[in-house]
Structure 1
């Protein structure tokens, strides 16, 4: 089945149908209309899979995709144009230009934490770039995966865009095929498997991974606002976000005030005492992992859980060290460890103990401190005096660095990701320059030296 789908998509791509501007625009419209058609079912599936509310579903899933589609539609004609570039002296009287072309048939493997957004957002780039695509949504969010399949099958023929559902075995079968591009979002461990499989065919990849993304709060920060924004970044999707603040580095002089304001922020977020509106943990394995991470730690806020709901209350943990179990891997849950510091250099040294993170957040009103952190630490992207929202702007490329990812997307960068830029030189046939040809004489060499220097 997988092989048949791949082959039919390669044949369809070879027909040239996907390259046309009007076809791409129409396809983007079809995707948008299909999403809107199934909006109620999307909301229901998100509720079943993650206990996600309609508002959070729209903010973090549907709305971001619709905005991305609109952005591509506004700019696609310009992006598709060939670009003339300056001709070098050695190439005169010819002309040089760069023309964008689609890669071909691409594979998009998406995760469970934002099952709609992280599946369809890269698809927007694939469509606008003129590719055919096979989508592999997560088996951990079965209801949403079913809706994704409906959205796609309702809008597109299988030879153009197709959904393959299933688990590890289906993903393995897909990775055995020769694609022209692979786009993967998930963990670093699985990312290595994807990259290894891609290397068998020398297939280029984009890997959107994760890591331990720090948040820094210095003594100059607006503590009430910092606590509110960090709390938002940690509880949205129950912390199951690749760019969620993973741990907090805070100046010791403002630590107690921050804890108080963090608690106040949570109280303002959840009018329901049991936080029944908060997203649940995706499954038993992740839920038990998070419970184990809290064991024997110094909990100063939260820490309760509900086994029936797979719910964990937003939790602050104090007196954390590098050797603490919770600092070994990305947390991916509503638990925030706190590390106090006296000098900002300690933060930079602490961050250097981990792989390069996908995000970094600094809360400060001190320009020197901001410049020191952003200039010294390597990370995918981030915010100054906020969390998470940098990924909502299609003008900002989103992606990791080092262990947190390879490549980026969103907006124009999504078009670039799924596009090969072909460089072409068109030579004049009116006359020919003789000194380029053998035999080479001293006179010819002197002319060449004057041109190529």
Structure 2
């Protein structure tokens, strides 16, 4: 990285990208394919370097978790985009109704322009590169800000992207939260932010001054509803696995579990078994650390004064945090009001499904609701009476890694969608093209109005009453 690039201000970097867009417009489909292919191969070349950098930033993170959740997920997204771009970019013909015949219309998806991407620390590679894949797929240029809480990974991202993608297409800026705030205030054509709800509100407010559209991927308390029809052993295995991924530092991690009261004791026993199968030794190399000492202190305060059931029989020392169930916390406790973002899992017994669903509805809408059990009347009741970004049945977290599925929240957990075609559309301007024919019925709907206009209007109004 040359010194001139490092000394470039965020504002100057934006202006250079905007100037390139004014001169050349959006990226051609051939350009997008080439950039994505180069990004794919260069990411694979640096996979181990990213695993090392992320682990150092976290004070320890499982190499396998990084390769699975950061590298593999991005490669899958690139492969899908390259395969589907010809279809996604094809103009969409719109069928017109009478009296607009014989006019024609279509929707053409064009690049929005220069996008801003502001990434978080919990998945510092994936949650920068996945939005970038969407932006490039749509033909946008982008200014990218990795998290300052993972500085080694941010430096590697800056070096990687600057050596892989032309600086008139993508610019990466590292630094503290003030840099992200400056990016949010730029007159960008799009911003995708991933992070906390409180910071998301600030980003949206800053973007609003320029009427910049935003996609906000925020956190939330994703509930697990274990129905009485569930295979409890299967459910607990997948709940615990999803919860302990990345030490619980996953935005779609199960945040609390609602289980039939009569099965609470069995749930606790099975959860211990599941955790010990995942992490069978006190020196396990597969259990990731908590990012900061401040986050550890917060987890301690969240579990204070609650009934705790540890999931592992041996001590777990910092910077890792002991995984545990929190049994029947009160609904007004902090652990039930705030996103946990760690390996603590509240478990609440319920007597009726209505009682369980009231708890879900009284908390902000989550990124995901996890349902374990049959797809029947009870499931349909849950789906109809709640809101979330997604519903995942008989598994946790995995849906967020499926590249074809739109990903995003609702209400307090975010707005907008990306991944796959949804990401391509989020970074695209849907431009309507209407082509009028030489002869058209609508030409008869101009003054001076006569009998032809009366007949057409009569037909239109009659049609509307149907």
Q: Distance in 2 between matches of 1:332 and 1:197?
A: 26
Shift of 1:317: 1.1
**Where does 1:13-412 land on structure 2 (aligned, <5 Å)?**
13-16=21-24, 18-50=26-58, 51-302=60-311, 309-365=318-374, 367-412=376-421
1:400-452: CA deviation from partner (whole Å, max 9, x where unpaired): 11111101111111111111111111122468864232222355233333256
Change (3 A) 1:369 1:61: same
Q: 2:343 & 2:420 partners in 1: Cα distance? A: 29
Q: Residues of 2 paired with 1:398 and 1:264: CA distance?
A: 32
Q: Tell me the distance in 2 between the aligned counterparts of 1:33 and 1:106.
A: 23
CA distance, structure 2, for counterparts of residue 230 and residue 433 of structure 1: 59
1:7 aligns with 2:15: yes
Per-residue deviation, residues 37-91 of structure 1 (Å, max 9, x unmatched): 2112101111111222221111111000000000011110111111221123233
Provide, for residues 329-387 of structure 1, a one-character-per-residue CA deviation record: whole Å limited to 9, x for no partner: 01010000111111111100111111111111111136222222122211111311111
**CA-CA distance at 1:212 after TM superposition:** 0.8
Residue 161 to residue 434, structure 1, CA distance change in 2 (3 Å): closer
Equivalent runs, 1:410-425 vs 2, <5 Å: 410-425=419-434
C-alpha distance in structure 1 between counterparts of 2:393 and 2:270, whole Å: 19
TM-score (norm 2): 0.93
Residue 4 of structure 2 corresponds to none
Cα distance between partner residues in 2 of 1:437 and 1:400: 46
- Residues 366 and 409 of structure 2 are in contact (CA less than 8 Å); yes or no, is this contact kept in structure 1? yes
How far the C-alpha of 1:17 sits from its partner, in A, is: 5.7
Distance in 2 of aligned mates of 1:99 and 1:17: 15
**Deviation larger for 275-284 or 431-440:** 431-440
Gaps of 5+ in 1: none
Q: Tell me, what secondary structure is at the counterpart of 2:254?
A: coil
Are 2:100 and 2:442, in contact at CA under 8 Å, matched by a contact in 1?
A: no
Partner SS for 2:191: strand
Residue 326 of structure 1: CA displacement?
A: 1.1
Name which of structure 1's ranges 242-251 and 212-221 shifts more when overlaid on structure 2.
212-221
Equivalents in 2 of 1:167, 1:425: separation in Å? Answer: 46
Matched-pair contact (CA < 8 Å) for 2:406–2:417: yes
Structure 1: how far apart are the matches of 2:292 and 2:175? 17
SS at the partner of 1:90?
Answer: coil
| Structure 1 residues 272 and 305, CA gap change in structure 2 (3 angstroms) | closer
CA shift at 1:125, angstroms? 0.7
CA contact 1:97–1:425 (8 Å) conserved in 2: yes
What do the CA deviations read for 1:13-57 (whole angstroms, capped 9, x no partner)? 123364311111001011112211211210111111122222111
Provide the secondary structure at the position in 2 that maps to 1:356.
coil
What TM-score results when the alignment is normalised by the length of structure 1?
0.96
- What secondary structure is seen at the aligned counterpart in 2 of 1:87? coil
Cα contact 2:191–2:212 (8 A) shared by 1 = yes
Greater mean deviation of Cα atoms: 382-391 or 364-373: 364-373
- Structure 2 regions of 5+ residues with no counterpart? 1-8
